[in-house]
Amino acid sequence: MNEHASTARLAPAPMDFRQLARGLGTVITYAAGDVIFREGDEPAYAYIVLTGRIEVSSRGKLIEQVDAGRAFGIISLIDKKPRSATAKALEPSEIALVDAKQFRFMVETTPNFVWYVLSEVVDRLRATNSAL
């Protein structure tokens, strides 16, 4: 049996957390080219893309493009270490900023959110490995 097929059966159906994030977090609109955070910044939020697209890069190298419905900035919020990448808007984008307290609330009250976070972290790890 394919390992990915086995893992896929464990995870619940994907959910769109944009509405929940919009209700809990602060929503900010970024113009194309706006920097959301820079490599080395202290973490204050995780980010969920409500509309638009974000570029995540490290040391000038593209790591990943994050589309609407996806999240970024999660790892630094969890481990409280400085940002390992820079994020900027590729197009006009609405982003929900979710602070540590709100993030913890979502993890504790919305079981599918844990799967969402895990899938985002795994995707980021794979994207980083591919960029190396």
Query: What type of residue sits at position 22?
Result: R
Three-state SS at 88: strand
What is the Cα–Cα distance from 123 to 131, expressed in whole angstroms?
Answer: 12
pLDDT, tens only, 45-101: 999 999 999 999 999 899 999 999 888 998 898 899 999 999 999 999 999 999 999
Tell whether the torsion through CA atoms of 120, 126, 130 and 132 is positive or negative.
positive
Domains and CATH numbers, the chain: 15-131 (2.60.120.10)
Dist CA 82 CA 126 (whole Å):
20
Q: Please, how many CA atoms are within 13 Å of residue 24, restricted to the half-sphere of its CB?
A: 22
